[in-house]
């Protein structure tokens, strides 16, 4: 069972191609664990959010309770719950930039304020700004999870976006590293100048250094959590069709390259073998695709989730899906 496989983990990422069922599986996982007593934070990092739609209640940029008392099995002992959070990239970028602007105003001499503001305006549009802001929020959610939850489940955006995000801590860490090295050089230069009679820059330098170090450490911690298979699980959801399978293989290779271990593959919306000729033939095709997938990716468990008849909306429907997170014959 997928739920059993992921029991030891404190953080789970659910990824895969667009439309394969990432949000549904992430939500069902969260609900499944909450029914077993866990306090779960379900976080959407996809700019096109739909947690709210799925749970049939408003979800926003702060955690809100998604499960009601009736959504969890009574008498399961410890009461668990699911809280939901949709990371809003626009708002995150705004908050991030205004925090940076405040720090800059505090740290930079007056004459630098106008050029610094222009620089920030450009940064708003720069590639990577959204992603690094979202990454900061992912780091924050992981930290919040460690304090107040047993598990954080990330419902991620389609493959490419998520992979870029996961590669970022590395890039940002080395970028901050480079800035710090430059600061060291300029500090030595500053010391020399101060030796000649200056002396006002010391506090600012120290503060800027602290800000950079904090950021670097935060990303380094995130990277450590994400690449630790004992703490973090990664589930790739797919449907047994050529394109999702091609993307799964690509994603698997990239994740492995980033040092992220894939815990399980989920073949979602499997056609039934016993519901008429059309679906039986579809199922045979799916099996063939899955055999090919297994040749490329033999190791992580592959689990089947059947095509369900109803609309997957609301805790009741998600509970049906949670019940079906079972093992695959493939
Ligand atoms: N096992 C299933 N049986 C039937 N329908 C399903 C199943 N899993 C998902 N669906 C349906 O498939 C559609 C896509 O699912 P979902 O929104 O979870 O995919 P996604 O990967 O998160 O998509 P996106 O990439 O757009 O975020 C939804 O309408 C959902 O209700
Ligand atoms: Mg989704």
What digits encode the pLDDT tens for the residues 146-161? 999 999 999 998 777 7
Which is it for strands 81-86 and 64-65: parallel, antiparallel or unpaired? antiparallel
CA of 257 to the centre of ligand 2 (A): 24
pLDDT surpasses 70 at 290: yes
> Of all protein residues, whose CA lies closest to atom 30 belonging to ligand 1?
312
pLDDT surpasses 60 at 44: yes
Which atom of ligand 1 has the smallest separation from the CA of 48? 27
**pLDDT: which is higher, 232 or 203:** 232
**Start-end of H helices in the chain:** 2-5, 22-35, 51-55, 89-107, 113-125, 129-148, 159-195, 202-226, 242-257, 277-296, 314-323
pLDDT surpasses 60 at 244: yes
The 10s digit of each residue's pLDDT in 184-204 is 666 665 565 555 544 455 666
Which residues are within 8 A (CB) of 286 and not within 5 positions of it... i.e. 6 or more apart?
A: 240, 241, 267, 270, 271
Least trusted range by pLDDT, from 58-72, 137-151, 156-170, 226-240: 156-170
Least trusted range by pLDDT, from 90-104, 216-230, 288-302: 90-104
Q: Is 88 a catalytic residue?
A: no
CA of 24 to the centre of ligand 1 (A): 6
pLDDT at 201: 57
Q: Which ligand is nearest to the CA of 310?
A: 1
pLDDT at 315: 87
Which atom of ligand 1 has the smallest separation from the CA of 324? 1
pLDDT surpasses 70 at 284: yes
CA of 249 to the centre of ligand 2 (A): 20
pLDDT surpasses 50 at 33: yes
pLDDT surpasses 60 at 329: no
Note the pTM of the prediction, 2 decimals. Answer: 0.87
Task: Give the mean model confidence (pLDDT) for residues 255-282.
Answer: 95
Q: Which ligand is nearest to the CA of 159?
A: 1
């Amino acid at each position: 069972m997928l739920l059993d496989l992921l029991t030891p983990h404190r953080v789970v990422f659910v990824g895969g191609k667009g439309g394969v069922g990432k949000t549904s599986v992430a939500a069902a996982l969260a609900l499944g664990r909450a029914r077993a007593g866990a306090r779960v934070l379900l976080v959407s990092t996809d700019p096109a959010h739909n947690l709210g739609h799925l749970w049939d209640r408003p979800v926003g940029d702060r955690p809100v309770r998604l499960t009601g008392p009736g959504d969890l099995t009574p008498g399961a002992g410890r009461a668990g719950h699911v809280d939901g959070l949709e990371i809003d990239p626009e708002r995150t970028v705004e908050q991030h930039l205004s925090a940076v602007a405040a720090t800059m105003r505090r740290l930079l001499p007056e004459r630098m304020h106008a050029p610094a503001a222009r620089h920030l305006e450009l940064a708003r549009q720069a590639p990577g700004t959204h992603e690094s802001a979202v990454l900061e929020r992912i780091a924050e959610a992981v930290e919040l999870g460690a304090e107040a939850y047993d598990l954080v489940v990330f419902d991620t955006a389609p493959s490419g976006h998520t992979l870029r995000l996961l590669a970022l801590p590395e890039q940002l860490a080395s970028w901050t590293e480079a800035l710090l090295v430059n600061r060291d050089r300029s500090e030595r230069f500053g010391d020399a100048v101060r030796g000649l009679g200056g002396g006002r820059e010391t506090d600012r330098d120290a503060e800027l250094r602290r800000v950079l170090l904090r950021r670097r450490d935060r990303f380094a911690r995130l990277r450590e959590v994400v690449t630790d298979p004992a703490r973090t699980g990664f589930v790739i959801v797919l449907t047994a069709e050529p394109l999702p399978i091609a993307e799964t293989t690509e994603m698997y290779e990239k994740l492995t390259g980033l040092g992220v271990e894939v815990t399980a593959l989920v073949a979602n919306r499997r056609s039934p073998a016993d519901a008429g000729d059309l679906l039986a033939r579809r199922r045979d095709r799916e099996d063939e695709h899955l055999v090919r997938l297994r040749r490329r990716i033999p190791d992580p468990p592959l689990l089947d989730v059947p095509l369900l008849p109803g609309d997957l909306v609301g805790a009741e429907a998600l509970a049906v899906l949670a019940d079906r997170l079972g093992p695959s014959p493939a």
